[in-house]
């Protein structure tokens, strides 16, 4: 599939996550588990690697991933954590770590962007943003505390500049023609993506490596 015409917000997180995973590959073909994916669109950004979509619900009530420990190279969860209940978030990240041999990539809209989401939600009634409000956007400081507790070494990368994200969400809501929506996303992705990984950010993406797995 062509990636350029993907909805701009998905393109931004997929493109950045793919860059981070390639930085770990060192020429190897990696196995990647895309947790929370519903259509495996992320696989198109990493055609040289084996990307598998996983739609299992991860919670203390439902249990964790069905995969064995250290069964894949990388786990990825992009814009999933904000749909997980607050009391399940540590367990969710712990499961991502458990099945990954090399590390994990975790991306989510941050609590500091809640005011922009609230504005967009009020004008658009977005179902996805309404669920974000239900569970609360993750606080980076709190998530980083969880990562440290799990002995994960991490890098934090800003993704989706908040002013552009807000304007594009409102613009796309006002366009009904699906072909035009794709054209707008394609134009934005091709010309402006490289400028969008900056503060103030709508989303942070973390590249995490497990210290207890990499050190003797």
**Measured between alpha carbons, how far is 45 from 169 in angstroms, rounded to an integer?**
22
Cβ count within 10 A of residue 1: 11
**Measured between alpha carbons, how far is 109 from 203 in angstroms, rounded to an integer?**
4
Contact status, residue 123 vs residue 99, Cβ threshold 8 Å:
no
Is 215's pLDDT higher than 90? Answer: no
- Nearest in space to 99 (alpha carbons), one of 119, 73, 134: 73
Q: What pLDDT digit, counting tens, does each position of 92-148 carry?
A: 999 999 999 999 999 999 999 999 999 999 999 998 899 898 899 999 999 999 999
Is 214's pLDDT higher than 70? Answer: no
Tell me the average pLDDT across 191-205: 99
Q: Are strands 152-161 and 201-210 parallel, antiparallel or unpaired?
A: antiparallel
pTM of the model: 0.96
Q: What pLDDT digit, counting tens, does each position of 148-173 carry?
A: 999 999 999 999 999 999 999 999 99
**Measured between alpha carbons, how far is 27 from 159 in angstroms, rounded to an integer?**
25
Contact status, residue 197 vs residue 159, Cβ threshold 8 Å:
yes
Residues 6+ apart with CB under 8 A from 31: 49, 50, 52, 72, 73, 74
8-214: CATH architecture? 3-Layer(aba) Sandwich (3.40)
The DSSP call for residue 204 is E
What does the angle CA 21 – CA 27 – CA 33 come to, to the nearest 5 degrees? 35
Q: What pLDDT digit, counting tens, does each position of 48-60 carry?
A: 999 999 999 999 9
């Amino acid at each position: 599939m062509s990636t350029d015409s993907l909805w701009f917000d998905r393109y931004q997180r997929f493109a950045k996550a793919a860059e981070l995973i390639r930085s770990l590959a060192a020429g190897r073909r990696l196995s990647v588990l895309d947790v929370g994916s519903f259509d495996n669109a992320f696989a198109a950004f990493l055609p040289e690697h084996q990307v598998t979509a996983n739609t299992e619900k991860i919670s203390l009530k439902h249990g964790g991933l069905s995969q064995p420990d250290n069964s894949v190279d990388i786990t990825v969860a992009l814009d999933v954590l904000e749909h997980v209940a607050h009391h399940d978030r540590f367990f969710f990240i712990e499961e991502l770590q458990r099945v990954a041999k090399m590390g994990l990539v975790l991306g989510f809209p941050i609590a500091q962007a809640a005011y922009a989401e609230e504005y967009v939600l009020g004008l658009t009634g977005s179902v996805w943003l309404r669920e974000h409000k239900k569970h609360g956007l993750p606080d980076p400081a709190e998530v980083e505390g969880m990562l440290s507790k799990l002995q994960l070494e991490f890098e934090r990368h800003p993704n989706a500049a908040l002013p552009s994200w807000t304007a594009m969400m409102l613009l796309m809501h006002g366009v009904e023609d699906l072909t035009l929506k794709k054209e707008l996303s394609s134009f934005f992705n091709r010309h402006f993506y490289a400028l969008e990984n900056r503060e103030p950010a709508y989303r942070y993406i973390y590249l995490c490596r497990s210290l207890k797995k990499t050190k003797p």
